[in-house]
Amino acid sequence: MEAIIQTKQLSHIYSAGTPFERAALNGVDFTAYRGEYLGIIGHTGSGKSTLIQHLNGLLKPTAGQVLYEGQDIWADPKLTRQTRFNVGLVFQYPEYQLFEETVYKDIAFGPGNMGLDEQEIDRRVRTAAAFVGLRDDQLEKSPFELSGGQKRRVAIAGVIAMEPKVLILDEPTAGLDPVGVESILGNIRDYHQAHNATVILVSHSMEEVARSVDRLVVVNDGVIPFHGSPEEVFRHAQQLEDMGLGVPMMTRVFNRLRAMGADISDPVYTIEQAKNAILKAKGVR
């Protein structure tokens, strides 16, 4: 697989040279491949937010490099700005950054900054709005009249409208009800498939990432202790527990069942897999 974003020995120190100095990242080698759905998990303060802000050039590395399609994004100021359009970043609680008079204008802010022509902006705004399930009549409303969940959709659409090749979302489902969580995760999946884009989902919910992503990267104390498919990562149940992350509920249940002598060999981390594993163990086809 071809790497789209890479970091090499990336380190970041906040407030360097003051008593508040704090190392957030320590020589991180991170790779995201083209077209994959990647999950990043880590505890609050693990450095995961710092890491993703490096990927689109918002933070400048204290040491090390960030490569986008093999080029150092800090080599040239133009490239740094271009990277922000190629790598879309949706922050936590993005609804707090809405500012325009209408939903339409707010979504158009990103594409407008890219210097696109009116027609293209219009197309992108409407496509992005459709992706997150906003109706046409909502486009002319003020974003502040919408409900919390809808505001979040508008904010996500604002980044999707830039049609980034890499879409990074920091806890996109935080504070939403279960129905809202499902539908936002569905929208993200749709974008991933429709544009063949690389999607990076940052979360601390194991359940959420376990059923969405192809590959998982664990961040802890400014380093990446392990990464791999969810199945591989969840094998480190004890270490994950020690980091305060834990494994999905289903994995925990089945680990206990195995410990009690149940004959289950398949990896289990979603409800679907759990169902199949039980049926298999019971000998039902």
Of 131 and 269, which CB lies nearer to other proteins in the complex structure? Answer: 131
Q: How far is the CB of 115 from other proteins (least distance, A)?
A: 9
Q: How far is the CB of 172 from other proteins (least distance, A)?
A: 13
Between 97 and 147, CB nearer to other proteins? 97
Cβ-contact 138, 121 below 8 angstroms: no
Estimate to the nearest angstrom the gap between the alpha carbon of 69 and the chain centroid.
19
For other proteins, which is the closer residue by CB, 47 or 248?
47
User: Closest approach of Cβ 215 to other proteins, in Å?
Assistant: 23
Burial of 34 (0-12, 13-18, 19+ CB in 10 A): middle
CA triple 247-251-255, angle to 5 deg = 110
Shortest distance (Å) from residue 38 CB to other proteins: 18
* Phi-psi group of 135: left, alpha or beta (phi > 0 → left; psi -120 to 50 → alpha; rest → beta): beta
> Which of 125, 124, 154 lies closest to 142 in space, CA to CA?
154
Encoded tokens for 254? 């089945």
Shortest reach from residue 166's CB to other proteins, in Å: 12
For other proteins, the closer of residues 97 and 196 by Cβ is 97
Nearer to other proteins, 148 or 186 (CB): 148
Smallest gap from residue 268 Cβ to other proteins (A): 37
3-14/166-170 β-pairing: unpaired
Alpha carbons 60 and 218: distance in angstroms, whole number: 22
Say which amino acid occupies 283.
G
Indicate the SS3 state at residue 163. Answer: coil
Q: Per residue in 35-57, is it b (16+ CB within 10 Å) or e — as a string?
A: bbbbbbbbeeebbbbbbbbbbbb
Residues 45, 22 contacting (CB under 8 angstroms): no
In angstroms, give the least distance from the CB of 143 to other proteins.
10
Q: What are phi and psi of 101, to 5 degrees?
A: -70, -35
* Nearer to other proteins among residue 55 and residue 217 (C-beta): 55
Q: d(Cα 91, Cα 176) in Å, to the nearest integer?
A: 15
- What is the contact surface with other proteins in residues (CB under 8 A)? 15, 17-19, 53, 56, 58, 81, 84-85, 88-89, 91, 94, 96-99, 109-110, 113-114, 144, 158-159, 162
Q: Closest CB to other proteins among 56 and 138?
A: 56
Q: Which tokens hold the place of 33?
A: 């491949």
Minimal distance, residue 153 CB to other proteins, in Å? 16
Closer CB to other proteins, 28 or 116, in the complex: 116
